[in-house]
Amino acid sequence: MLNKKVKSIILAAGKGTRMKSELPKVLHCIFNKPLLGYVLDAVNNTGYINENFVIVGHEAELVEKYVKENYESAKCVLQSPQLGTGDAVNKAAPYLKDFDGYVIVVCGDTPIITSDTLKSFTDFHDNNAADLTVMSAIFENPKNYGRIIRDKNKKFTAIVEEKDATPEQKAVKEVNAGIYCINWKTVSNAFNSLKNNNAQGEYYLTDIVKWAVENNLNVQSYILDDNEEIFGINSKLQLAQATKIINRKSLIRLMDEGVQITDPETTYISPETTIGADTLILPNVYITGKNIIGSKCKIGPFSHIRDGAKIGNNVRIGNFVEIKKSEIKDNTNVSHLSYIGDAELGSKVNIGAGTITANYNPISKVKSKTIIKDGANTGSNSVLVAPVTVNEMASVGAGSIITKDVEAYSLAITRSPMKIFSGWVKKKIEELSGGNK
């Protein structure tokens, strides 16, 4: 149990030039969730943090809008112009004037970092009574990372950025992970002493290490076990690589919990989705957002489950099916080529192939709900125009367009009567051939 309060500062001001995008780097998404959201969730899920300061700069309004809409505990602080990471952290200083506790500093473009790691990192800092702790990692190829510099007694003395490093320093394999735990009361004065006499002309956050050493403070480094967690994103290629890493970790977790995934190479499942044991996931399934899927289900192949799905036990989702923001209860089948959006499906419902819940009114921009109650079924190529309810044990005929509620145990059919014109094809052939057979 920590004796200190903990706050976080998340660095999210950069433009991300290499992303080649008008969208701020930290708002690029993995599984429809912004990078910044992954970092904020990791910080908050430690259970230690009661307030977050998000440092914004490039397209600050967009970043602030996302933060305000999703995180009550976070406050955005503007850095303009962007003069480096040290300057960025210092922008939060006025809000921490009388704070006596720890401040965790994390980059907003590192979506793989976990709450467990941040919690262990904070515990390490606290247990060692440190004034400053830097997270580090060992890389065989440390290119582009700042190096952890130690003296002959292996005492941590400084961090040197690669562009400022000597050949000897570049050979060091221990690198700065870019995450810090600061005893704010003893270290905050360092930010008033930072200089920008470096290759970039910026105020480096890393220079607080040198300041702390010179002031005889307790400086520690916490060596990370899993190097992938500090993977930072600066390009669309790295965004794709991070997606692969997050997905692989998600699939491994699910398989360890008893989910059968036929082909992990073609399956993508968001880490916020939970799936019960003995559910079978067939190839080319894509599941994004927060979803709950029960046990003994069969999903896919080529199914797409979007955010907000709650699927019960022993449910079958066929191939080329899309599910969005819907609840599907136990023992229900949704057959191939169907779309179920903003809907509630009871138990033992059978959805025929090609069924669509027409949930969106393009004029009013309103999405409405479709309710299909226990035991009901729809024929192939049915369209249910929401808002509409199909009651218990009712049946919808194939090819029907349903615009009114269907009473229990009834059959609803809207298709026109079938007509047969005998000899019609033969007559047309003769007309086209000029009467010649």
Structural domains of the chain, count: 2
> Residue 168 falls within a domain, yes or no?
yes
pLDDT in tens, 215-244: 999 999 999 999 999 999 999 999 999 999
> Residue 423 falls within a domain, yes or no?
no
Provide the pLDDT for residue 153: 87
Give the end of a domain, one of 179, 197, 230: 230
Burial environment of residue 239 by CB neighbours within 10 A (0 to 12, 13 to 18, 19 or more):
buried
Same domain, 205 and 240: no
Same domain, 219 and 258: no
Same domain, 128 and 242: no
> Residue 166 falls within a domain, yes or no?
yes
**Which residues, in sequence order, are CB contacts of 95 under 8 Å at separation 6+?**
53, 75, 77
pLDDT in tens, 247-274: 999 999 999 999 999 999 999 999 999 9
In angstroms, the CA 187 to CA 202 distance is 20
Provide the pLDDT for residue 437: 56
Give DSSP secondary structure letters for 181-200.
EEEHHHHGGGGGS----STT
Provide the pLDDT for residue 198: 76
> Residue 353 falls within a domain, yes or no?
yes
Question: Contact 334/309 with Cβ under 8 angstroms?
Answer: no
> Residue 201 falls within a domain, yes or no?
yes
* Contacts made by residues 149-154, CB under 8 angstroms, sequence distance 24+: 150/174
Q: Is the pLDDT of residue 423 over 70?
A: yes
**Which residues, in sequence order, are CB contacts of 75 under 8 Å at separation 6+?**
51, 52, 53, 54, 95
Burial environment of residue 435 by CB neighbours within 10 A (0 to 12, 13 to 18, 19 or more):
exposed
Provide the pLDDT for residue 425: 94
Same domain, 183 and 58: yes
Same domain, 33 and 82: yes
pTM of the model: 0.92
Among 100-114, 197-211, 343-357, where is mean pLDDT lowest? Answer: 197-211
Q: Name the nearest CA neighbour of 344 among 319, 312, 321.
A: 312
Q: Which helix (H) or strand (E) holds 222?
A: strand 219-223
Burial environment of residue 140 by CB neighbours within 10 A (0 to 12, 13 to 18, 19 or more):
exposed
Q: Name the nearest CA neighbour of 262 among 289, 292, 294, 301.
A: 301
> Residue 425 falls within a domain, yes or no?
no
What mean pLDDT do residues 31-56 have? 97
Question: Contact 170/62 with Cβ under 8 angstroms?
Answer: no
For the domain that residue 18 is a member of, what is the CATH number?
3.90.550.10
Same domain, 245 and 272: yes
Same domain, 106 and 42: yes
Same domain, 263 and 183: no
> Residue 107 falls within a domain, yes or no?
yes
Q: Which domain holds residue 294?
A: 236-412
Residues identified as active-site:
336
Same domain, 220 and 240: no
Same domain, 112 and 215: yes
Provide the pLDDT for residue 139: 93
Please list the residues that pair with 16 across neighbouring strands: none
> Residue 140 falls within a domain, yes or no?
yes
- What single-letter DSSP state applies at residue 57? B
Handedness of CA 168, 180, 109, 257 (dihedral sign): positive
Give the end of a domain, one of 230, 246, 276: 230
Same domain, 40 and 144: yes
Mean pLDDT of the chain: 95
For the domain that residue 289 is a member of, what is the CATH number?
2.160.10.10
Same domain, 385 and 310: yes
pLDDT in tens, 312-360: 999 999 999 999 999 999 999 999 999 999 999 999 999 999 999 999 9
Give the end of a domain, one of 230, 265, 286: 230
